[in-house]
Structure formats: structure tokens, C-alpha cells
Amino acid sequence: MKLLETNRCFEGVWQRYSHVSALCQCEMTFSVYLPPGCESHSGAMAPGDRKPALLWLSGLTCTDQNFVQKAHAAAAASAAGCILLVPDTSPRGLNIDGEDERYDLGSGAGFYVDATESPWRDGYQMFSYITEEFLTLVAEQLPVSLEHLGVAGHSMGGHGALIMALKRPDLFRSVSAFAPICEPSKCDWGQRAFSAYLGSDQAEWAEYDACSLIRQGARGPGRIRVEQGDADDFLEAGQLRPESLQAVCEDAGIELEYQLREGYDHSYFFIQTFIAGHLGYHLVQLKHPATGDASALQTGLASR
Ligand SMILES: N[C@@H](CCC(=O)N[C@@H](CS)C(=O)NCC(=O)O)C(=O)O
């Protein structure tokens, strides 16, 4: 992987890398935050040198940079000694017809699925890219402890976080989401993307729909935290459907911490208000021996 940029931040560093992805069939860019004490690591590392990490999945129209620039997550990650892993939201520049025509399909809108339909299936393999290629690469090159890995995301990325945790509980020990698309099979964004990427077979859609996965028996790490603003236009428009997630979690006995926040919208202002609390929530569950007082982070900043 090629280092593109390094910026010191709260005594750690934000770094931006690119690498050639076999699954996405293009050069992919991603960012990482390395807290103090792990900037210079590379190659073989003792297990004790590895840090807990949170994988962040962004929403429609985002690159890795939206979270880096707008979520204000570095202060909390620095204090807690947690790595942040921020991949892109789709392949780029594949020269697929219509790839850049809409904000909710193609570039910036990979929906974290492995496409089966032409022309998307060559490259739009975001589920496998993230869970296999990307995580293998960063665990080889950076001091990430794969035994202490959580996943979180926003909107389309919240959907990504939920399905990754539900489908790969062997990889992810904690999960949370901001304004996630909870039931993509039943909203306009999800129906458009799934039709294009997965075709018309609803059984294929169910494999990438958090509510369907839970109905089919998936349990993930056992607890889920969801933060939702009540002034979010996409909630009103029926794109997010948290009520469906609440219902299936209740039926399945999954503990869902659902926080409805008065006056907050869908933007990164909402995310930056509550991100430290989510980091604390993950670190409490990840139980890395070198983590400081994660519960203080969780309770102190989450409830602001
Ligand atoms: N109205 C937006 C819809 C897309 C949107 O709201 N994207 C959210 C995630 S679903 C986002 O994070 N946008 C980037 C940002 O706010 O920095 C647009 O057309 O760009």
C-alpha cells in the first residue's frame, strides 16, 4: 500500500493510503487514525503491541475523507488508544455505464454488497472487499488487533455495519450505527441499489438486509447501539425504518440500545456530537487490555 498523506492529530496521526484492489478492480483509497505509540509500526508485531480498532463505514456520496474531516473522532481515539479504519464507499473509475449518474448508485454508493448482476459484478464487491481484502491488508501492515475489532457506520454505512456484524460475528465483536438504513429491501434507496446490484430475487436481497438477517436467525455480537436524530429528513421519508429493526430485535431477544436524539438531523454535526460515546461503547465490549477507562468515555461524552 502507498502512503499518500500524514497529518499529526492529537499526538497520533491521520494517514491516507491507496492500494490496488483485486476485488474492486481499481485503486482504492482509505484513511486510518493511529493513536500515539503506534505510528512507526510495520511488519511483524507481538500480539500485545496491537491496538483495538473501529472500522467506520460511511454513507452515500462519501469518500474516506468525510469521516476524517467532519466526525471529529481523533481526540477520543487518541485518548482511548484506538485505531480508526476508514475505507471508501465504492470502487471508482471502472468505466461502467451510469457509474457516475446518480448519487445513490455506482460511485459513492456501493451499499456494502457483493454485486451479482452485470455490469456491476466486476468490481462492486464491497462486502468481500472490506471483510477480506481490506482488513487482511491493514492487519498485515498496521498494528490492528483483529481480536479487538468493532464496526460502526452512518446511513448506508450504518446498514453496512449492521450486516457485517450480523454476517461476520467471528470478525466483529461490537457494532453501532448512526441513522442506519435498517431495512434496505423496503426503502427507495435500498430497492434501487439491490435491484441493480443483486437483481430481482428477494432471497438475494435478504442476505444483505439487517432485518431479514435477524429474522433468519443471525445474532451478530448480541448487542446493537443505534443513534438517530428525530429531525432527520430521511427518517421522515421512510428511508431508514428503525422501527423495523426495533421490532425484529425485540422478537429475537437482541439488546438494541436505540437513542432518539431531539433536534438532530442526518449530518456529520449529529455524528460529531455522539461519536466519542460510540467509541466508548465499542471499547467497553472489545476489552483490550491496554484500553483506559472506556466506560468513562462512553458515559461522559455519550450523554451530552
Ligand atoms: N442530499 C445528499 C444525500 C446524500 C447524503 O445525505 N449523504 C450522507 C450519507 S447518506 C452524507 O454523509 N453525506 C456527506 C456529508 O454530509 O459529508 C446529497 O445529495 O449529497
pLDDT in tens, 73-83: 999 999 999 99
In this structure, is residue 93 part of a structural domain? yes
Whose C-alpha lies nearest to ligand 1, atom 5? 60
Beta partners for residue 285, in sequence order: none
Per-residue model confidence (pLDDT) at position 303: 39
In this structure, is residue 44 part of a structural domain? no
Burial of residue 25 (CB within 10 Å: 0-12, 13-18, 19+) is middle
Whose C-alpha lies nearest to ligand 1, atom 14? 62
In this structure, is residue 42 part of a structural domain? no
In this structure, is residue 273 part of a structural domain? yes
Distance 112 CA to ligand 1 centre (A): 16
Pocket test for ligand 1, best of 62, 70, 102, 188 (most atoms within 8 A of CB): 62
How many independent structural domains does the chain possess?
1
Local structure of residue 184 (DSSP, 8 states): G
**DSSP codes of every residue in 250-265:** HHHT-EEEEEEETT--
Cα gap 245→257, rounded to integer Å: 11
Q: Please determine, for the modelled complex, whether the ipTM score is greater than 0.90.
A: yes
In this structure, is residue 106 part of a structural domain? yes
Per-residue model confidence (pLDDT) at position 134: 98
Cα gap 140→43, rounded to integer Å: 7
Q: What is the CATH number of the domain that holds 10?
A: 3.40.50.1820
Per-residue model confidence (pLDDT) at position 302: 43
Query: What is the CB < 6 Å shell around ligand 1?
Result: 59-62, 66, 70, 103, 154-156, 266-268
Give Rg (Cα) of the chain.
Answer: 18
- Which residues form the domain of 218? 2-35+50-300
pLDDT average per 10 residues of sequence, the chain (304 residues): 97 98 98 87 66 98 98 97 97 97 98 98 98 98 96 98 98 98 98 98 97 98 97 98 98 98 98 97 90 64 42
Per-residue model confidence (pLDDT) at position 49: 82
Distance 104 CA to ligand 1 centre (A): 10
Distance 155 CA to ligand 1 centre (A): 9
